[in-house]
Amino acid sequence: MRNRPSEPDRLPRPAVPSAWVGPGRAWGAVIGVGILALSLGLGFAPIEAVTAAAPDHKAGFAMAPAGPASLSRLGTQPDALLLAQAAYPARQDSQINDYANVIEPHDAAQIRFVLDHLRTAYGLEAVVVTVPSIGTYGTGDPTVEAFATRLFNTWGLGDAQRNDGVLVLLAVADRTVRIELGRGYSSAYDARMKTVIDEYMVPQFRSGYYSLGLVRGVEAMVEPLTGSPPGPLERIPAAWDSLPVPAGVRSLLVGGGLLGSLLLLFWQGTNFVLTPTCPGCQRRMKKLDDASARFYLDAGQRLELELKSVLHSVWECPSCRQRTTRKFNMPFQKFNPCPRCRYKTLEVVKQTTLRAATYSSSGEALAERHCRQCHYADETTVILPRLERDSDSSSGSSGGSGGGGGSSSGGGASGSW
């Protein structure tokens, strides 16, 4: 969170000559009455001062440009000036616009990594926006849903032909999150986004973890949008589960999504093998051998070990016998978290192409999935990445802020806490 700027040192008040202390007050009163009488006689009305309120950082918000509610009334101010203040926030970044100042630097790096992949692999433009409240902008929108739809269309998110943009909007003071979808998505995607919000975002927001909730939500919406989260994305989520990230590492994560993700993968792996300290007696814990560790793992964790989708290690304190478990998500493999049992044991067993991908648009396929742990099975639509010519180069993640001209008709889902 950003700290409140320190107040500048006040200059000492100039000394007033003692000769003016007594008679100065009397003459000052006379002169003041005379000026007031003159102004009234000439028909001038006193002008009210306009004072800009200092930003309130108590809730961690970086206040966005104020609407007309924050302006003091001017006797001669035209109504057009007030209307000009009521506007949607300007898009300052192509991926993250954190006007509420709630996203931590390391979480921002993770979000950028996911959004980068959606853009380069699937051609989907997704943007994360946080605001203190929709009332901050004075647009008159009665609900967060209406604000999200109009903000989406103001920015023109997504491709103009496919209308496949995605807007993730968090209104902190309104206690509401919205995933707004372009008009190109069918109504079936609304229910998928509702599941993402209810299961991955709202539980974190309810506890005050806005930054973590956004990370979990952005990661979780990849599968409903594309059919299956790609392997590289699986390098990251477990790093935030229980491992602290030093400030020095966090500062490096801000530099770029891919570089930050690789650094995070290294840090996660390092913490997986480093000896932890017992939270009870502060003694160094000892790692159990594989045979002993399996006794303290459940069936799903043991299956993850067999499939090599997740590595688990169990550590025990030699003094108080307190135990802790650490895990490491293996990168670049075919298993994904199961929506029913949550273990990383879900795989695609069959995929049928419905619409082939081209150089100008992505394709679509039907994927049949099966969980080896709980035997959950389903079919889901998978977006096939559009074809790329060798001469094409992918665009940068943070360069430019204009949308592709897409629009939304109000589809998506919302959640409150």
The per-residue pLDDT for 235 is: 36
What string of DSSP letters covers 238-271? Answer: GGGTS----HHHHHHHTT-HHHHHHHHHHHHHHH
Q: How far is CA 123 from the centre of its chain?
A: 20
The per-residue pLDDT for 134 is: 94
Residue ranges and CATH numbers for the domains of the chain are: 55-74+82-230 (3.10.310.50), 339-384 (no CATH)
- Helices vs. strands in the chain: H and E counts, helices first: 11, 11
347 near 335, Cβ under 8 Å? yes
The per-residue pLDDT for 317 is: 92
CB atoms inside a 10 Å sphere around CB 116: 20
The per-residue pLDDT for 27 is: 44
Residue 107 host element (H or E): helix 105-122
The per-residue pLDDT for 277 is: 87
Low-confidence ranges of the chain (pLDDT < 50): 1-31, 33, 35-85, 230-258, 267-269, 271, 391-400
Edge to edge, what strands does the sheet with 166-171 contain?
Answer: 96-98, 126-131, 166-171, 176-181, 411-416
> For 201, which DSSP code?
I
Torsion of CA 73, 74, 78, 81, to 10 degrees: -60
The per-residue pLDDT for 332 is: 58
Per-residue pLDDT tens over the stretch 70-84: 333 333 344 443 444
Joined tokens for residue 235: 């390098």
CA distance 253 to 105: 7
The per-residue pLDDT for 266 is: 52
β-strand pairing of 166-171 with 176-181? antiparallel
